[in-house]
A and B are shown apart, each in its own frame.
Chain A
């Protein structure tokens, strides 16, 4: 009993530690005052102002545009790559998978700076397109890692069965392989979208002043003094990411359950 209670208290403290800052942020996003220490009553003022601010509206547009495009392109490229990797023999597969892990483990700052140097070296003007390219780059490995397990579970005879029934290789791919691995592809796309919305460091180094996403906007606003609008914006971003991650995790655990049931 005592041990159980200690366990719970310990867990509570950890979550408190993790989520207290965000809780404070959310609470103060509804505070009817610019103060960050006194509660002056409930308001939605900051949220309304937020959506009237042209800088933030522009940043929101770029964030969503880049998240949509980069997750879409990364999903296509990553899925094709995963299918290729899956058909490799053992040692080649291990090699490629390890190479695939490096960008994931690499500190964002290194990825961001090295991409910037590459773009400058290649004389590509920093802006929307470089940010998009950067996002595609860091999203691809995550898509590969989401799709590969689905390919492994695939009955190796499914493709042959489709050919056997008269399907051309292309028809078999679109009508059999793709639908069978679709859960992995959707999870990968959601993950890529989430990571793209979430990213600050890599975006920061690979864009020009005119093109900024929400996290860069928050950063620059915060430098000139904390405005409660930042609280509101951060709250919205936090909730968006939270919901997306929930969806990804529910999908993944559902798949694990289905796999166990088989």
Chain B
């Protein structure tokens, strides 16, 4: 088990009587890429700001390598941040921006120059030292912001939706590069995003948050394949969420039909949410499937077709590389291990 670099113990945060965070407990391992994922207003940015020292938790403690740093100001923490809108200093050149933290540490000029050069190399912007910040594109500014933070060799790098303002292609390139930098430098990254794809691509660990509470912590595979509740399932990729009743272990009823499944430990006749991924809905052109339905709509999505299949009691979203024409009669089935049973959400 790797060493915990940061621990959040019973953190809560209230802004003017609004509870933004309710009891957050979380540890971050050394050298991992951890992502705080959730819809806007879930408290992910507040959590990051508490780690950075820009926000004081209402209750709870922040531990850094076991030591309490809750009341330590940002400039005394061995943490650096890449801000959402870059927050570059426009009155300084690229070089002066990156050297800002090094100058405060009073390093000598030659060392600073060397470090700045290396940092620019790391973000693939060699030779940009004397450019003005305003002359750079959004993607380049983002790289400078990353270089400015990384040049200080922090133990932990915090990133607050750093790719939010970039276009899709650039964002995908930057995802790969961020992951490369993280591996190359061996620095712990804490990344905040609302983009589930981004989280799945880059993270070692994903923390899914909603309404100031952690919903699930796990590897991308865990979170995608074994979502803990309907919210996580819905947030991480599309899902069909169907009300059902657990008949007994490994047997569930939904859409008035009994299905085999692999989940155990629920009460007899307990109401549950059944989650089925669109790509797990098997479609048959005849009536050999378990549920009969009609293709209501077909949309071409590139790799696959997205089809809405209406059965008597539920409209399933299905992804398939084969196209079943609109209004045709089909039937569907789901394999037992693709049926995910979840406790009914409390709200």
In the complex, the answer to whether A157 meets B83 with C-beta atoms within 8 Å is: yes
Nearest-Cβ distance from residue A242 to partner chain B, whole angstroms: 30
How far apart are the CA atoms of A157 and B73 in the complex, in Å?
Answer: 15
Interface size bracket, A side = 10 to 19
Closest to B80 in A: A164
- Interface residues as binary, A138-173 with B (CB distance below 8 Å gives 1, 0 otherwise): 000000000000000001011011111111100100
What separation, in Å, do the CA atoms of A182 and B91 have in the docked complex?
10
Q: Give Cα distance in the complex from A182 to B89, angstroms.
A: 13
State which residues 179-203 of B face A: CB under 8 Å.
none
CB neighbours of B92 from chain A (8 A): 179
The answer to whether residues A158 and B87 also contact, given A164-B81, A165-B101 and a CB cut-off of 8 A, is yes
Max count, chain A CB within 10 A of own CB: residue among B83, B85, B148: B83
B75 in contact (CB, < 8 A): yes
Alpha-carbon separation in the docked complex, A239 to B92 (Å): 36
Whether B100 and A180, one on each chain, are in contact in the complex, defined by CB atoms closer than 8 angstroms, is: no
Tell me the bound Cα distance from A99 to B53 in angstroms.
Answer: 36
Within B36-79, the residues touching A (CB, 8 Å) are: 52-54, 73-75, 79
By a CB distance below 8 angstroms, the chain B residues around A262 are 134
CB of A176 within 8 A of CB of B89, answer yes
Partner among B80, B89, B104 whose Cβ is within 8 Å of the Cβ of A158: B89
**Which residues of chain B are near A165, meaning CB under 8 Å?**
75, 80, 100-101, 104, 148-149, 152
- Expressed in whole angstroms, the minimum distance between the Cβ of A88 and any Cβ of chain B is 15
- The CA of A162 and the CA of B81, in the complex, are separated in Å by 10
A161–B81 CA distance with the chains assembled, in angstroms: 7
Q: Please, which residues of chain B bring their CB within 8 A of the CB of A168? A: 75
The reply to whether A163 and B74 contact each other, CB–CB distance below 8 Å, is yes
Contact (Cβ within 8 A) B87 A155: yes
Instruction: Decide: A180 and B89 in contact? CB cutoff 8 A.
Output: yes
B301 within 8 A of A: no
B-side contacts of A179, CB under 8 Å:
89, 91-92
The verdict on B93 contacting chain A, using a C-beta distance below 8 Å, is no
Distance A120 CA – B244 CA, assembled complex (angstroms)? 87
State the main secondary structure of chain B at its contact with A.
Answer: loop
Question: Is residue B90 within 8 Å, beta carbon to beta carbon, of the partner chain?
Answer: yes
State whether B52 touches A164 (Cβ < 8 A).
Answer: yes
B169 within 8 A of partner (CB) = no
Within 8 A of B (CB), among A186-222: none
In the bound complex, what is the Cα–Cα distance between A124 and B64 (angstroms)? 59
Across the interface, A160 reaches (CB within 8 A) one of B54, B86, B104, B134, namely B54
Other-chain residue from B53, B90, B105, B152 in contact with A180 (beta carbon distance below 8 A): B90
Most chain A beta carbons < 10 A, residue from B88, B89, B92, B105? B89
Give the residues in chain A near B219, CB-CB below 8 Å.
Answer: none
Q: Report Cα–Cα, A175/B81, bound state, in Å.
A: 19
Provide the residues of chain A in CB contact with B73, threshold 8 Å: 163
* Bound complex: CA A156 to CA B19 (Å): 23
Which residues of chain A are within 8 angstroms of B86 by Cβ–Cβ distance?
Answer: 155
> In the complex, which residue of chain A has the Cβ closest to the Cβ of B83?
A157
Q: A164 contacts which of B75, B85, B91 (Cβ < 8 Å)? A: B75
| Nearest Cβ on chain B to A196's Cβ, whole angstroms | 28
**A89 CB to nearest B CB, Å:** 10
B-side contacts of A176, CB under 8 Å = 89
Determine if B101 and A180 form an interchain contact, defined as CB atoms under 8 angstroms apart: no
B91-124 interface bits toward A, Cβ cutoff 8 Å, 1 = contact, 0 = none = 1100000001100110000000000000000000
Enumerate chain B residues within 8 angstroms of A182, measured Cβ to Cβ: 91
Residue in B closest to A164 when the chains form the complex, CB atoms: B81
Complexed CA–CA distance, A185 and B104 (Å): 26
B163 to chain A minimum Cβ distance, whole angstroms, is: 16
User: Are A167 and B90 touching (Cβ within 8 A)?
Assistant: no
Is A166 within 8 A of B87, CB to CB? Answer: no
Known contacts: A165-B100, A167-B75. The answer to whether A157 contacts B152 by CB under 8 A is no
Residues B74 and A157 in contact, CB atoms below 8 Å apart: no
Give the CA-CA distance A108 to B88 in the complex, in Å. Answer: 43
Q: In the complex, what's the smallest C-beta–C-beta distance from B292 to chain A, in angstroms?
A: 56
| Residue-wise interface mask of A (87-107) relative to B, using a CB-CB cutoff of 8 A (1 in contact, 0 not) | 000000000000000000000
**B140 sits at the interface (CB 8 A):** no
Fill in one digit per residue for A251-262: 1 if any B CB lies within 8 Å of its CB, else 0: 000000000001
Q: Flag if B83 contacts A160 (CB, 8 Å).
A: yes
Are B104 and A157 in contact, with the CB atoms below 8 A?
Answer: no
Bound complex: CA A72 to CA B75 (Å): 32
Say if the beta carbon of B229 comes within 8 Å of chain A. no
9 cross-chain pairs, A with B, having the tightest CB-CB distances, nearest first? A165-B101, A157-B87, A161-B87, A179-B91, A163-B74, A166-B104, A157-B83, A164-B81, A163-B75
Q: List 20 A-B contacts (CB under 8 A).
A: A155-B85, A155-B86, A158-B87, A158-B89, A160-B87, A161-B83, A161-B89, A163-B53, A164-B75, A164-B79, A164-B149, A165-B75, A165-B104, A166-B101, A167-B100, A167-B104, A176-B89, A179-B89, A182-B91, A262-B134
Given contacts A155-B86, A160-B52, A167-B104, 9 further A-B contacts (CB under 8 A): A158-B89, A164-B54, A164-B149, A165-B104, A166-B101, A166-B152, A167-B75, A179-B89, A182-B91
